[in-house]
Amino acid sequence: MKKNKVLLVANWKMNPDTYEKADKLFQESVHVASQAKKVKTVLCIPYPWLTDFSHKHQKVVAFGGQDASIEQAGSFTGEVSPKMLTSSGVEYVIIGHSERRALGETDILIAQKVIASLKAGLKVILCLGEKSRDDHGEYLMFLREQIINSLGKIQKRYLKKLIIAYEPVWAIGGGDDEAMKPTDLHEISIFIKKILVEMYGQDSGTSIPILYGGSVSPDNAKDLINLGEVQGLLVGHLSLNSKKFSELLKNIE
């Protein structure tokens, strides 16, 4: 049986601040990604430069949007539709990132975005994760409700393009000590799969890939994937440092 590539999603967020810096980072990222045969690299680049870069090196890296509207076209100033992304050569889109949720996006809105993006043909990376942990396991109930509500009523035929990115908010942006322990990640991965199986059945539920994000580093990446039993990683600030990004890819390989 052919083993799927590890999925590495690089979320640049609102960085860098100039086209020149972005172009340099893009060229460096493509160079290191071209040397990783066991990893599929997805670059989620800010919208102003996304279309320009997405027409270059598509055989080396894939491209992702950082968000998408629930609408495909119309009088929605400042919005970017899923259809626009697919037309621009974009294959993936991040929906429900914790930073978007912090701005007020609800599970209901996120579910609408997920469905709109899937219908447009995009592969959706749905971000989930609790803000904090407690000793009584209430965070598990929070996570369960977040998964169910953020997925809404997705038809089974769209599930092949769905990816879950587990990003515990408490673990984002720190060092190795703040990252989730691989054994704990494994338990959460099983928990998420269990909910997905309840929603969509054994075959469909277990086939949905799970990524991890939160203080990922070149040192802990391999254990997070192998021991945490996830299918890839979602990284933020680390992807803006081409040297560390290169180390991360080499260690995953």
pLDDT in tens, 209-253: 999 999 999 999 999 999 999 999 999 999 999 999 999 999 999
Q: What is the pLDDT of residues 11-46, one digit of tens each?
A: 999 999 999 999 999 999 999 999 999 999 999 999
**CATH classification of the domain holding 136:** 3.20.20.70
For residue 90, give both structure tokens: 């974009």
By the 8 A CB rule, do 32 and 10 touch?
no
pLDDT score of 176: 66
Instruction: Answer yes or no: is 245 within a domain.
Output: yes
pLDDT score of 135: 79
pLDDT of residue 163 exceeding 80: yes
Top-confidence residue, 57 or 20: 20
Length of the chain: 253
Q: How far is CA 175 from CA 129, 139, 161, 184, 221, in A?
A: 18, 22, 31, 17, 12
User: Out of 91, 105, 130, 167, which one is annotated catalytic?
Assistant: 167
Residue 17 makes CB contacts below 8 A (sequence gap 6+) with none
User: Out of 97, 99, 105, 130, which one is annotated catalytic?
Assistant: 97
pLDDT score of 172: 86
Cite the beta strand spans of 29-148 per DSSP E: 39-44, 62-65, 92-95, 123-128
Instruction: Answer yes or no: is 145 within a domain.
Output: yes
Place of tokens 């929070």: 142
Q: What percentage of residues in the chain have a pLDDT greater than 70?
A: 98
Structurally, the chain folds into a number of domains equal to 1
By the 8 A CB rule, do 21 and 54 touch?
no
Q: Which domain holds residue 164?
A: 6-252
pLDDT of residue 58 exceeding 90: no
Question: Which value, in Å, is the radius of gyration of the alpha carbons in the chain?
Answer: 17
Mean pLDDT of 100-106: 97
Cα 224 from Cα 233, distance rounded (Å)? 9
**229 is a catalytic site residue:** no
Q: How confident is the model at residue 84 (pLDDT cuts 50, 70, 90)?
A: very high
Q: What percentage of residues in the chain have a pLDDT greater than 90?
A: 89
Burial pattern 215-252, b for ≥16 Cβ within 10 A else e, equals bbbbebbeebbeebbbbbbbbbebbbebeebbbbbeeb
Instruction: Answer yes or no: is 219 within a domain.
Output: yes
**57 is a catalytic site residue:** no
For residue 164, give both structure tokens: 């879950």
Instruction: Answer yes or no: is 203 within a domain.
Output: yes
Q: What is the pLDDT of residues 122-159, one digit of tens each?
A: 999 999 999 998 878 899 999 999 999 999 889 999 99
Instruction: Answer yes or no: is 238 within a domain.
Output: yes
pLDDT score of 3: 67
By the 8 A CB rule, do 135 and 173 touch?
no
Cα 217 from Cα 175, distance rounded (Å)? 8
- Can you say whether the dihedral through the CA atoms of 65, 8, 117, 60 is positive or negative? positive
Provide the 10 A C-beta neighbour count for residue 22: 21
Average pLDDT in the chain: 94
Q: How confident is the model at residue 179 (pLDDT cuts 50, 70, 90)?
A: confident
Instruction: Answer yes or no: is 1 within a domain.
Output: no
pLDDT score of 1: 35
Instruction: Answer yes or no: is 130 within a domain.
Output: yes
Please state the φ and ψ torsions of residue 125, each to the nearest 5 degrees. Answer: -100, 100
**DSSP characters over 13-46:** -S--SSHHHHHHHHHHHHHHHTT-SSEEEEEE--
Instruction: Answer yes or no: is 75 within a domain.
Output: yes
